[in-house]
A and B are shown apart, each in its own frame.
Chain A
């Protein structure tokens, strides 16, 4: 099975990945081969099973809603590829 270019293009767009036509075809082919392998899961009857998202039991963890120290602005911004003062820079979104 090969995943057609339209589908890969749609998925790449959802994933915010700008791929060339050649890349769309290559990933489509590879994705198809992987999904062919994964299709073996269809052989299993899992109708009665609950999905297992976490193997070790976990409860939701809450902490008291009180202020505590966090990263300083400078530390939080230290890796920003572009910053202005205390802000991250993005292209204009609203005209």
Chain B
């Protein structure tokens, strides 16, 4: 009994209680998190109190929420009033938000049990959790390897069975890439589908919160619970949330799978390629139609992203000043040195790098050459997708060019780390929904992820296609070895 949908059913049918479920997951956390290090903080008393409330509600005949009694791990860049929200940064090490993020409010309204806050690359900038100011999380499939990032803690928590569900955030692949590297399902909804209120801002035109689960059905359930319009986020799509769970079992026959040749070029690991190709062939046998499409801008995605995102970050992170909240330097002469020293002491190297890059690209004399040009390329990237979607319903390919890599392998080369995002950044630049599902294991036992991208606001089709692949592949992945 490890999937969220069954756990909820068992709680509702009184086979178990929310308290028992929470206790079981906490035992698992206590037993294995010292190895995996997925969590920055856990809050057992608050979680057990919430679980008890859910049990009492059910006993009293109250209407159970969509997530009744389900433990959920929350990425530590999402604001929670009852737990620290550090963004894995020294600058927010002691920060305690005075309000809940809208997604957290929704979790509470839907009777979820928040078990703890998960590790990430500082301010969600990275692809491995190695940029966390506190520690690196480990991949449950091979503890020498990274779990991906930036939502690596959430991915590792779900992969290792420490929570059936988790929330992450995805600015350039930060849900999908760790999902791929840990053999979990990770879904980035359409930009604006899920409120960003209370998500600590990194790249505001790209950031989106989304779910992790061990199945498409579980991820869809959590996506359903958090989707919908929020007046507190002015970029939130003002439409009712679509039904994401109802049509999941839809047949794949006639589904047009767009296969971009640019996703299968140089740099793609041969085992990843073979596994993704085999999955596509399997769905073709069920009547899905393979359509060759082209996304010629793919090779420019990373370059455009690493202008747009750092520019937005340099502006968003200007708020950390050592005055209102966060780290304040002990030594300063005047207000300028208070700002400059507090920020220097509080930010790690990758965050500093991106602030410098963004400030440079926005500075007088460089704005047109860098920022404006990148936004024009972004337009071209979106046009590429629009054209491809004239011929297909979803776009399918690998999520990440490689499986999980060893801790330290890319840590000293920022650009090599950036290249991990080659298939995922364009999704954010175009605002599309995208999901990663496991499609196999490498010879050395590391998970391989398959990515499905869809049209803006067509989140339901993306999840339906993901479920069709999952059904057809019928992978029964073993539990990760934790060695």
Contacts and interface: CB of A to CB of B under 8 A. Distances in A.
Contacts of A91: 332-335, 338
Nearest to B379: A52
B340 A79 contact: no
Contacts of B314: 15
A90 interface: yes
A10 B341 CA distance: 16
A31 B373 contact: no
Interface in A50-95: 50-56, 58, 60-61, 63, 71, 75-76, 78-82, 88-91, 93
Contact of A34 (B235, B306, B347): B306
Contact of A51 (B321, B322, B344, B375): B375
Nearest to B81: A75
Contacts of B324: 79-80, 88
A95 B475 CA distance: 71
Interface centre among A13, A51, A61 (most CB of B within 10 A): A51
Given A27-B352, A81-B327, A90-B335, A16 B98 contact: no
A51 B377 CA distance: 8
Given A76-B98, A91-B334, A46 B234 contact: no
Contacts of B431: 54-56
B379 A8 contact: no
Interface string B145-163: 0000000000000000000
Interface centre among A46, A51, A56 (most CB of B within 10 A): A56
B376 A14 contact: no
A32 to B, nearest CB: 11
B414 A30 contact: yes
Interface string B262-293: 00000000000000000000000000000000
B234 A61 contact: yes
Contact of B338 (A54, A75, A90): A90
Nearest to A8: B356
Interface residues of A, number: 50
Nearest to A93: B335
A56 B325 contact: no
Contacts of A8: 356
B96 interface: yes
Interface in A8-53: 8, 10-19, 27, 30-31, 33-34, 37-38, 40-42, 44, 46, 49-53
Nearest to A79: B325
B359 A41 contact: no
Given A8-B356, A31-B356, A55-B382, A88 B323 contact: yes
Nearest to B336: A16
A73 B334 CA distance: 26
Give the interface size class of chain B: 35 or more
Contacts of B304: 41
Contact of A40 (B303, B340, B375, B418): B303
Interface string B345-358: 00100001101110
Given A15-B314, A37-B415, A90-B338, A52 B343 contact: no
B328 A12 contact: no
A30 B413 CA distance: 9
B370 interface: yes
Interface centre among A33, A46, A61 (most CB of B within 10 A): A46
Nearest to A24: B356
A11 B359 contact: yes
Given A12-B356, A19-B344, A40-B300, A80 B374 contact: no
B325 A15 contact: no
B379 A31 contact: no
Contacts of A75: 98-99
Contact of A37 (B303, B323, B456): B303
Contacts of B457: 56
A80 to B, nearest CB: 6
A18 B306 contact: no
B339 interface: yes
A44 to B, nearest CB: 6
B430 interface: yes
Interface string B198-229: 00000001000000000000000000000000
A19 B307 CA distance: 22
A16 B339 contact: yes
Given A16-B343, A18-B344, A27-B353, A41 B373 contact: yes
Contacts of B321: 16
B356 A90 contact: no
B462 to A, nearest CB: 15
Contact of A55 (B234, B335, B429): B429
Given A55-B205, A89-B323, 20 more contacts: A15-B343, A15-B355, A17-B340, A17-B355, A17-B356, A31-B357, A31-B360, A34-B418, A37-B302, A37-B415, A40-B300, A44-B377, A46-B377, A61-B234, A71-B98, A76-B98, A79-B98, A80-B325, A81-B328, A93-B334
Q: Ordered nearest first, which 9 A-B pairs have the shortest CB separation?
A: A55-B431, A51-B375, A79-B325, A81-B328, A46-B376, A18-B340, A75-B98, A52-B379, A61-B234
7 contacts: A7-B360, A27-B356, A40-B299, A78-B96, A81-B325, A81-B326, A91-B338
